Structure 1
Amino acid sequence: MAGAILTTDRAGTVLFAVAAIALTALSLHGLLVRPRLSADPRGVRIRTATGKHDLHWPEVTTRVRTTRRLGRTTETLEIEAGEQLFVFGWLELGADPRDVLDTLTALRP
């Protein structure tokens, strides 16, 4: 933000302002929607920007998907419930998606 104030370049000021707004929005989203996923023996609770989704185990399918893109392998946890698909990466989970899948499998009755 200091760069936007100290520079005399108008295009640079706009770019700094856009970057600052985007970082602020992402930070607020991360703060308000945490924790994104919680589970117990009854089912899972998923928090999104639009609200909470309480899903019972019989309606939930979980899997880890591995993708390779631009020379990098990434894993995501996918939770499917009917028409809804929720995708979580390491950043949203705070842990490896495979470890989270193991925990969810252990909780599932």
Structure 2
Amino acid sequence: MDEISPVRQWRVPASLPAAKLAGAVLLVALGLLFADGDPVRLVVAVLAAVALAAWAVRDLIAPVRLAVDPAGLTVIHGFAGRRLLPWPAIEAITVDRRPRLGLTSEVLEIDAGESLHLFSRYDLGSTPEEVAATLSAARRS
């Protein structure tokens, strides 16, 4: 069996915030191109671009979404905060699979009693199944 390192982190892939920022620029460009003098279209495009850019900024400020160490799990909390979940507080670590439109989506679920933390492949930079296995092994040790 592999030995668990003292600290392991999972983070947002570096390409994701870049894609979000590019999408924000594209939204503004399309808003300018297709507004046809309608200020409402332009405002909607700019607001959507600002929301997408804020989402990208979160990825840049707090790229680490999940970390494990002997004390427990550290998860992202709020916009860019962190929260330690001690091992005794964690009730379950599971992977939820759901078929949608011919594709299967996977989400890592960490049930800490009064809070539920969900992580997709895009939050972790790895498959939820791999992360769940690593977390379960760390929990046992």
TM-score (ref. length: structure 1): 0.85
How many angstroms apart in 1 are the aligned matches of 2:77 and 2:103? 27
Instruction: Please name the residue that 1:23 is paired with.
Output: 52
How many angstroms apart in 2 are the aligned matches of 1:83 and 1:32? 26
- Seq. identity, %: 37
More strand by share: 1
Deviation at 1:5, TM superposition (A): 4.1
Q: Indicate the SS of the match to 1:36.
A: strand
Instruction: Please name the residue that 1:58 is paired with.
Output: 88
Instruction: Please name the residue that 1:100 is paired with.
Output: 131
User: Is structure 2 residue 111 aligned with structure 1 residue 84?
Assistant: no
Which ranges in structure 1 are unaligned for 5 or more consecutive residues?
none
Which ranges in structure 2 are unaligned for 5 or more consecutive residues?
1-27
Deviation at 1:32, TM superposition (A): 2.2
For 2:100, give the aligned amino acid: R
User: Is structure 2 residue 105 aligned with structure 1 residue 74?
Assistant: yes
Aligned counterpart for 2:73 among listed residues 44, 47, 53: 44
How many angstroms apart in 1 are the aligned matches of 2:41 and 2:113? 46
Deviation at 1:70, TM superposition (A): 2.6
Runs of at least 4 residues off by over 4 Å: none
Deviation at 1:71, TM superposition (A): 2.4
How many angstroms apart in 1 are the aligned matches of 2:112 and 2:67? 15
Deviation at 1:30, TM superposition (A): 1.7
| Matched residue count | 109
Higher RCO, 1 or 2 (CA under 8 Å, sep at least 6)? 2
TM-score (ref. length: structure 2): 0.68
Aligned counterpart for 1:35 among listed residues 57, 64, 68: 64
1:22-63 Cα offsets, whole Å, 9 max, x none, are: 211111122223201000122100012253211111221211
Deviation at 1:3, TM superposition (A): 3.9
How many angstroms apart in 2 are the aligned matches of 1:52 and 1:2? 35
RMSD of aligned Cα (Å):
1.8
